[in-house]
């Protein structure tokens, strides 16, 4: 079964997928102290999924097992995003949206609602607003066509917070939410502490998370967890990216992998990801990655692997392809996928 799926996907993805480039942006200087910047990208994806895990436009830590295998093809541009930054002296405001907000249909217009991704204010060493959790290391996310790639092994969460940075040390209070319990009783913010190491060799972060969770029966539980993640330079332009997460992390890991509370028990999760990116030329590169997450109480066990090829056609335009597999071992289900992507960075 696996061999037949792989053959079909290799045939359907004959030349593969997308690139990830830094958001360049355009700057407009208003005064000596005032500047507006615009950025983002347009991304077009063609995605084919074959297996007994139901189609998703990108894999997350949960999925629906099908009674029989299905195959689906979709062409979409929802990952397209736009951002704006306004700077005045030491104050900066940033807002970004994409089009994963739902709505529309595939019969006539394929409309999609915009959604807020980031909206925050930065003043000196303080950040306030919605952005990536301090617990998350974005530099350790691998380059992939599938959005974020192997989310099962990632800390991947945006939420409201107030963060203070002092050199390599960061501390924040962040929005609480007891998934699977009683969030109406969440009265204490999540607390995150993080230490960053950087050098010519790359970067590594060490993070700790503390929370108060509230169960359906009104019990309060303390939850703690830790994370180490980084990006290490190897040979030439190559790099190795990794993440390892352990503890009562719940909604922080795996993008919907497992709730914070299962029944009246706090879930404990182990998740990890490893990815190696190799440059064949200055602009042609491949990433091979594997991510996995396991939960003790629910028994959830999910993993994903992929291999891709990306090429920059110009500084702003990239194209490439990816094949991979999403596996739900706890439900004995899996789907192969192939994705072709085009990305134009504004």
301-332 per-position pLDDT tens digit: 999 999 999 999 999 999 999 999 999 999 99
Token pair of 264 as six digits: 């009246």
In the prediction, which pLDDT does 25 show?
74
In the prediction, which pLDDT does 4 show?
53
Give the Cα separation of 243 and 94 in Å (integer): 27
- Of 233, 294, 288, give the one whose Cα is nearest residue 269: 294
Evaluated on CA atoms 189, 190, 193, 198, the torsion sign reads: negative
pLDDT averaged per 10 residues in sequence order, the chain, 346 residues: 47 36 69 93 98 96 96 96 96 96 85 94 98 97 92 96 98 98 96 97 98 96 97 98 98 96 96 98 98 96 98 96 97 98 95
Give the Cα separation of 280 and 288 in Å (integer): 13
- Summarize pLDDT for 138-186 with one digit per residue, the tens: 999 999 999 888 899 999 999 999 999 999 999 999 999 999 999 999 9
Residues forming a β-bridge with 301: 294
CA 233 from chain center: how many Å? 21
Burial 97-116 (b: 16+ CB within 10 A, else e): bbbbeeeeeeeeeeebeeee
- Of 27, 19, 39, 62, give the one whose Cα is nearest residue 256: 62
């Amino acid at each position: 079964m696996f061999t037949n799926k792989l053959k079909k996907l290799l045939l359907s993805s004959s030349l593969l997928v997308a690139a990830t480039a830094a958001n360049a942006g355009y700057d407009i200087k208003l005064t000596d102290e005032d500047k507006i910047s615009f950025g983002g990208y347009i991304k077009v994806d063609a995605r084919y999924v074959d297996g007994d895990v139901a189609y998703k436009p990108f894999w997350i830590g949960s999925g629906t097992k099908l009674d029989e295998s299905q195959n689906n093809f979709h062409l979409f541009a929802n990952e397209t995003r736009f951002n704006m930054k306004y700077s005045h002296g030491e104050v900066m405001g940033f807002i970004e949206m994409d089009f994963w907000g739902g709505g529309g249909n595939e019969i006539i217009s394929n409309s999609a609602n915009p959604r807020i991704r980031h909206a925050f204010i930065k003043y000196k060493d303080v950040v306030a607003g919605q952005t990536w959790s301090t617990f998350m290391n974005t530099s350790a996310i691998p380059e992939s066509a599938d959005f974020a790639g192997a989310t099962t092994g990632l800390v991947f969460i945006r939420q409201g917070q107030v963060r203070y940075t002092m050199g390599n040390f960061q501390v924040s209070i962040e929005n609480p939410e007891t998934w699977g319990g009683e969030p109406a009783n969440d009265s204490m913010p999540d607390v995150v502490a993080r230490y960053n190491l950087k050098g010519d060799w790359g970067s590594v972060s060490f993070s700790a998370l503390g929370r108060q969770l509230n169960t359906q029966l009104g019990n309060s539980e303390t939850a703690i967890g830790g994370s180490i993640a980084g990006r290490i330079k190897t040979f030439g332009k190559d790099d190795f990216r990794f993440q390892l997460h352990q503890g009562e992390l719940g909604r922080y890991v795996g993008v919907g992998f497992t709730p914070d509370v299962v029944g009246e028990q706090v879930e404990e999760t182990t998740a990890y990801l490893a990815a190696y990116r190799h440059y064949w030329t200055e602009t042609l590169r491949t990433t091979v990655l594997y991510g996995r997450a396991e939960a003790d109480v629910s028994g959830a066990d999910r993993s994903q692997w992929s291999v891709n090829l990306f090429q920059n056609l110009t500084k702003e335009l990239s194209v490439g392809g990816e094949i991979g597999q999403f596996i739900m071992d706890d439900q004995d289900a899996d789907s192969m996928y192939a994705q072709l992507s085009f990305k134009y960075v504004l």
